[in-house]
A and B are shown apart, each in its own frame.
Chain A
Amino acid sequence: MVKIEGHEFPDGLYYHRDHMWVKLEDGKARVGYNAWAADVAGKLVSIKTRPAGRTVKAGKTLGSIESGKWVGSLKTPLTGTLAEINPGLSDNPSLINDSPYGDGWVALIEPENLDAELKELIPGTDKDALEAWLKEEIEKAGV
């Protein structure tokens, strides 16, 4: 587990620069929103995603989140088909804040281009790369 600026980044995951994490599970990829980004967004009150069965493209919109009248996008970290959307989030979007890497997962993707796209993500074991990226994000956020 890497801890940066007080926020956890489990080392078994991969991290997309638009703040989604990826966990590989038997050929599929479970994805969610990282702890730092969830904290900066604030307590989430709404989430909307593309439905299961839809194809998604890396870097494109997976859905939207809302906290206290701020709306932001969730970007897909991988290209593929949405196999499942977390059913617990529609009634309780703040699961993403409470358990960003556990119960607050967002979607399960059947990836099409995993090997190539995984190279674009930051491995959780690469602490230096994670720190450099997060430092940049913190500066942009002004927090």
Chain B
Amino acid sequence: MENWRLIDLGKAEPYKAQTFYEAVAEAVDRGISPNTLILVQPASPYACIGYHQDLEKEIDLEFTEDEGLPVIRRSQGGGATYLDGDQIFYQIVSKNSAALPRGVDRLFERALSVTVEGYRRLGVAAEFKPLNDVVVGGRKISGNGAGMHGSASILVGNYIMDLDYPKMAGVLRVPDEKFRDKMVKSMEQWVTTLKRELGESPPPERIKEVHTEAFQELMGVTLTPGEPTEMERRIYAEETKPRHTSREWLYMEAPRGRPGRAVKIAHDVKVVETDHKAGKLIRLRAEVMGTKILDLQITGDIFVIPKEAVRSLEAELMGAHLEEEELLEKITRFYEANKPQSPGVSPRDYVDALLKLRTLL
């Protein structure tokens, strides 16, 4: 059976909670530290962006400044998020371990089987949802990401004891406050917590206990409590933290991306917005699951008679998929049945605008 180290960092200030594992990964990569599971709880809140994200595009820097929130860019992918002491992080750092495959799909499935089991032992009917989600009744209850640090494999994730939904939406840059309201509602619907599921969250120590037990059983490893080494502390102080606090890292140029705004709420649920220039500007804002429209608002410079026709068209498209044939058929049929007048905007223009939304998914 493999012997791994277990480090419990307790409550740690944001940079340490979010990035100390990278110092451990550097040491594991160099072959001077054992495979390690870290458990940690942020001592105070912060905003966190994914490795490939554009800071100024994703984060409302005015909000984070007003709230006194540090903003940290992690080395894993995924989207921007708000994190605080109501989450327990697990951070897995390994090299050449039979317990954890390196292939991405299998890595997530294997590692998250522990999170699923942990939640079940806490009384929550969690399930694994490929690629890398843990859900309860379809609602997300854990965030996870992975990556490589040299030859060391990293997987990080969390148990969510409670969530400040307005703050979660507050840290994200949005086109307007209605988009933010939409996001809050979507988050409340699609992201859940231990407190919501059980009425009250189990205490942090109990969560760490079940995770540690499940990890040993399901990974087939022995976890021996230990402390960070002197070298790891030095790597953190001299390399990891300076990198993460540098302006160069935080404001790192991101891949260009498509115009428009897309915020992932949970697994395949997103709130998206795009503009499409037809004869008039069509602005679409939607909540989608996969390619299925859950909710849609059509605005812009369009002028439609009767004006109620826009709301009727929105209702008509609820449940539709962002597929050209289906959209053209529904919108054409709507126009034939209702005969709205929309100077400068045709059914085809709406289809093109909706297909543009799809490119953001």
The interface of chain A, by Cβ under 8 A from chain B, is 40-42, 45-48, 64, 66-73, 90-91, 93, 140-143
Contact = CB atoms under 8 A, between A and B. Distances in A.
5 contacts: A67-B77, A68-B131, A71-B75, A140-B96, A142-B106
Contacts of A41: 104
B144 A69 contact: yes
B148 A67 contact: no
A71 B76 contact: yes
Nearest to B359: A91
Nearest to B76: A71
A60 B31 CA distance: 20
A46 B52 contact: yes
Contacts of B253: 48
**Closest 9 pairs between A and B when the two form their complex, measured CB to CB:** A142-B101, A141-B103, A69-B78, A66-B77, A143-B103, A46-B52, A71-B147, A69-B145, A68-B131
Nearest to A137: B102
Interface string B253-294: 111111000000000000000000000000000000000000
B20 interface: no
Nearest to B361: A45
Interface in B59-107: 75-78, 96, 100-107
A47 B256 CA distance: 10
Given A42-B131, A66-B77, A69-B77, A47 B100 contact: no
B6 interface: no
How would you classify the secondary structure of chain B's contact residues: helix, strand, loop or mixed? loop
Consensus secondary structure, chain A interface: mixed
Contacts of B76: 69-71
B236 interface: no
Given A46-B255, A90-B256, A70 B147 contact: yes
B228 interface: no
A24 B355 CA distance: 39
Contacts of B77: 45-46, 66-71
Given A46-B255, A90-B255, A90-B256, A70 B145 contact: yes
A64 B145 contact: no
Given A42-B131, A71-B76, A72-B147, A143 B52 contact: no
Given A64-B52, A142-B100, A142-B102, A91 B146 contact: no
Contacts of A48: 52, 253-255
B113 interface: no
Given A71-B77, A90-B255, A42 B147 contact: no
B51 interface: yes
A23 B274 CA distance: 39
Contacts of A68: 77, 104, 108, 131-132
